[in-house]
Amino acid sequence: MGSRIRRRLSGAPAWLLSVYAVGAAFSTYFCMYAFRKPFAAAHFEGAHLADTQIELKTAFVLSQLLGYALSKYLGIKLVSELSRERRAGRLLLLIGVAELALVAFGLLPPAWAVLAMFLNGLPLGMVWGTVVSYLEGRRTSDAWLAGLCASFILASGAVKDVGRWLMSAQHVPEAWMPAVTGALFFLPFALSVFLLNQIPPPTDADVAARSRRAPMDSAARRAFVRRFLPGLALLLVVYVLATAFRDYRDNYGAELFAELGFGATPAIFTRTELPVAFGVLLGLALLNLFRSHRAGLVAAFGLMLAGALLLLACAPLLHTGVVDGAGFMLLTGLGSYLIYVPYNSVLFERLMAATGSAGTAVFSIYLADSLGYTGSVVAQIQKDIFAASQSRLAFFESFVWLFGCVSIVALTLALIYFLQRVPREAQT
């Protein structure tokens, strides 16, 4: 059956192949979030880890983040070297391990449940790059990757709403809610992986337009970093902040909405993330209008700078009453995702194509992710240990200002750097 689907896709019109590829990739990664984020819908209120100042929920968040960050470091090698034949089996194995860890989370007392969350995060960090490897290196990669990115914007809110529904309507305990949510999504995930695996490889025309995408060994990875080190360093500074900010907003969204007066509002996560996903997708769709890779790279940086400016406007709009708490969360989501999403889609894809670099954009994504999630761990510790007197919302507002200001400076300098290294004649 798989070979028949693949043959038909190989001869299908470009629009039909695009719809199929985006649908399969979107569904795969959307389902993955059911194994990663539902626990964030629970409060674990009033509980602390042993005799420390660290709240129990923060301990769970940190533990999963540590596993996820380690997974990104492992993915620099394991995912960038992964062959096409092993992708589907790897995806199923990763999700199976993650679900078993969630079952352990439900069974174990809190101190050991922290370890279970680490084991849950450890495999999940390699899912993104494996899915991206099916989509990169094509003339339509910008659109395909934009569709994929919409999955994690929507999925994070949706699976938390599913988790809240399981606890409130089905009376599933907080400790078991993550495993039950994952179980609901396991078969849809397996079907999505099967469909994703039928996407045919890039054509000769794709290779000519976007450069050949092949596994990168350690020598190729070192050469790429040496070639673009100053520019990559600037980009990584922004991405560390972007990942930490996104994770803080994501993991403590329930607490932030409660402080803003929307804690009991039904489906509040989905209602705020849908407009965010639409806005980000619209911005990424506009990047497809640029045929020149050089112009496309400039446009990608412009989109991220627009996100940074929007972040700086969020707090004033809230405190002057122009927007309410839900609007504030929507705007911080839109601004941060306009910065964050291009890293996981068009930015490195365009950079590889514009510079004619051989290899895979997955390596750059995982290099950024490994550092980004390390920064996310630091941000969680900073709040509970060094800013314990601040409310979640006050800390978040300070983070908004820091993230916006640093992003404007670093992204502007990075754009200048890369424009000096991309030939003006770089075309699709």
Q: Are 254 and 40 in contact (CB under 8 A)?
A: yes
CATH number at residue 379: 1.20.1250.20
pLDDT in the model for residue 190: 97
Burial of 423 (0-12, 13-18, 19+ CB in 10 A): exposed
Q: Is the pLDDT of residue 428 over 50?
A: no
Residue 270 in domain: yes
Q: What is the spatial distance between Cα 328 and Cα 212, in angstroms, rounded to a whole number?
A: 43
Residue 12 in domain: yes
Long-range contacts of 222-225 (CB under 8 A, 24+ apart): 224/357, 224/359, 224/363, 224/364, 225/367
Residue 282 in domain: yes
Residue 426 in domain: no
pLDDT in the model for residue 224: 78
Question: Can you tell me the mean pLDDT for 41-70?
Answer: 79
pLDDT in the model for residue 379: 80
Q: What is the spatial distance between Cα 225 and Cα 151, in angstroms, rounded to a whole number?
A: 29
Q: What is the spatial distance between Cα 285 and Cα 143, in angstroms, rounded to a whole number?
A: 7
**Number of domains the chain is built from:** 1
List all residues 6 or more positions away from 300 whose beta carbon is below 8 Å from its beta carbon: 287, 342, 346, 347, 350
- Residue 48, beta-bridge partner list: 55
Q: Is the pLDDT of residue 425 over 60?
A: no
State the DSSP code for 52.
S
Query: What does the pLDDT look like over 383-409, one tens digit per residue?
Result: 777 777 888 899 999 999 999 999 999
Residue 428 in domain: no
Mean pLDDT of the residues in the chain: 86
Q: Is the pLDDT of residue 263 over 70?
A: yes
Crossing angle of the two packed helices 14-32 and 2-10, in degrees rounded to 10? 130
Q: Is the pLDDT of residue 94 over 90?
A: yes
Lowest mean pLDDT among 5-19, 302-316, 366-380: 366-380
Q: What are phi and psi of 183, to 5 degrees?
A: -60, -35
Question: Can you tell me the mean pLDDT for 35-44?
Answer: 86
- Residue that wins the pLDDT comparison between 111 and 98: 98
Query: What does the pLDDT look like over 271-304, one tens digit per residue?
Result: 888 899 889 988 888 887 777 878 888 899 999 9
Among 162, 175, 178, 343, smallest CA distance to 245 is for: 343
- Of the pLDDT bands very low, low, confident and very high (cuts 50, 70, 90), residue 50 is low
- Which stretch of DSSP H or E encloses residue 298? helix 293-319
Query: What does the pLDDT look like over 324-378, one tens digit per residue?
Result: 999 999 999 999 999 998 887 678 777 777 766 655 666 777 778 878 878 888 8
Residue 6 in domain: yes
Query: What does the pLDDT look like over 216-229, one tens digit per residue?
Result: 667 777 887 888 88
- Of the pLDDT bands very low, low, confident and very high (cuts 50, 70, 90), residue 427 is very low
pLDDT in the model for residue 51: 67
SS3 string, 132-192, reads HCCCCCCCCHHHHHHHHHHHHHHHHHHHHHHHHHHHHCCCCCCCCHHHHHHHHHHHHHHHH
Among 27, 292, 241, 225, smallest CA distance to 134 is for: 27
pLDDT in the model for residue 198: 95
Lowest mean pLDDT among 121-135, 260-274, 326-340, 408-422: 260-274
- Residue 55, beta-bridge partner list: 48
Q: Per-residue DSSP letters for 196-247?
A: HTTSPPPPHHHHHHH-------HHHHHHHHHHHHHHHHHHHHHHHHHHHHHH
25's tokens? 């990739």
Host domain of residue 174? 2-419
Residue 105 in domain: yes
* Best-predicted range by mean pLDDT (157-166, 266-275, 414-423): 157-166
The 3-state DSSP class for residue 50 equals coil
Residue 425 in domain: no
Q: Is the pLDDT of residue 308 over 50?
A: yes
